[in-house]
Chains A and B, each alone.
Chain A
């Protein structure tokens, strides 16, 4: 396949929108083509910059104001009873106040996410927003890795290759990883708490083999990636949340393992799973 065609595929690859067979074609081309590998790196840096650096214009307060008036003035259906309608502008006003505190969208989303997670799970979580702006380099690496995590998650669902070993028994799965990866991840079935263990899989992240555990939570599948910690600096970190293309991610480091949890389920569910994993690893 020629490099020009590859360039178009590269974009879809970075966006996690490439089907499995094209992904394989692309990856084998990349292995043998230095120019395309460089292009990949440049595009990766560009998209990360666009995500973090492009201005997000929040709706001005006076536009919200006008919207409130518009909604109050235009009854939708004749039979609407007044008391229900009367509540609408109040709701809007409350939302406006909330969003007045918002700064940029990304920051705001994170704060919101954490507020939600904290209120549901009843744990205090420090907002990731501060570290996001203070440590752009770290964030950039995490973003790249997060993209990879999402891509792996999608591939595992698409390719019908969810598990290498299907079992809900931790004593079957845990030894299976021995000698295959450099980590001994916490493995346990949390079926009573709503997270049933489906199995384990060998996966590849950040250029290294990693352990992937698959859980089912209601209709959602959750991938838990356990990766060996790269640097010695951070051994126990609080969970950080990212949302990429509708997938929620949570990551944290415990001991010498960094866990990445990804799913289309809510971030509060992921935080619950984080708490369960952490509880197990402590006992």
Chain B
């Protein structure tokens, strides 16, 4: 087992240890870490594996953590683990990562194949639960690089600067990917919900 070596400062009894620091700083973000992994991998058990691996990595490299943005630091590791996982298990999805490829997808007419039962009757007054389902499905179907910025921004409430750090892209790219991702969602949802985007959620 490789352990980060610490300078041998004598520990006061009861003084906070590095483990305590890790617990206090990183464990509270377990829900955020899992949520991101769940949205990126698309299923629960893979997300669990990825998060566990990410925490192991975080623990191993905790000595390099220089605060204070614990959440962003942790999520950067979680995201990297997700992408390594996707590379092995969903390599097809990753080939769409290039912006050009994504722009092409975004430009294509949306194929409505999901939940045809509901989509067949756009006039039907959809209840909140159905609207919510549409919204979640639409985000699940976003190309990966749009999906991650939308989840980080609209669900996790992170700033552009934090998102740029986590996704390892410039802030300008965060802006344009968010804009395109949301456009894509508007198009999909308005098509499916009959022109009116979920005023009722």
Query: Which residues does A use to contact B, with CB under 8 Å?
Result: 7-8, 10-12, 15, 17, 42-43, 45-60, 62-64, 66-67, 70-71, 74-81, 83-85, 88, 91-92, 95, 99, 102, 105, 136-137, 140, 243-246
* Chain A CB within 8 A of B92 CB: no
19 contacts between A and B (CB under 8 A): A43-B182, A48-B201, A53-B131, A54-B151, A66-B48, A67-B52, A67-B55, A71-B59, A76-B17, A76-B19, A77-B6, A77-B17, A77-B18, A78-B3, A79-B11, A95-B28, A99-B31, A102-B31, A105-B31
* Nearest CB of B to A140, in Å: 8
Residues in A whose Cβ lies below 8 Å from that of B19 = 71, 75-77, 80, 84-85, 88
| CA A76 to CA B198, docked complex, whole Å | 49
**What is the total of A-B residue contacts with beta carbons within 8 Å?**
172
| CA A64 to CA B62, docked complex, whole Å | 19
Task: Among B1, B35, B183, B198, point to the contact of A53 (Cβ < 8 A).
Answer: B198
* Chain A CB within 8 A of B102 CB: no
* Chain A CB within 8 A of B101 CB: no
Residues in B whose Cβ lies below 8 Å from that of A56 = 31, 35, 155
Task: Among A51, A83, A84, A136, point to the contact of B200 (Cβ < 8 A).
Answer: A136
Chain B residues touching A, majority SS = helix
Residues in A whose Cβ lies below 8 Å from that of B5 = 77
- Tell me how many residues of B have a C-beta within 8 Å of chain A: 64
Residue of A nearest to B172 (CB): A8
| CA A80 to CA B158, docked complex, whole Å | 35
B20 contacts A79, C-beta separation under 8 Å:
no
Chain A residues touching B, majority SS = helix
* Nearest CB of B to A48, in Å: 7
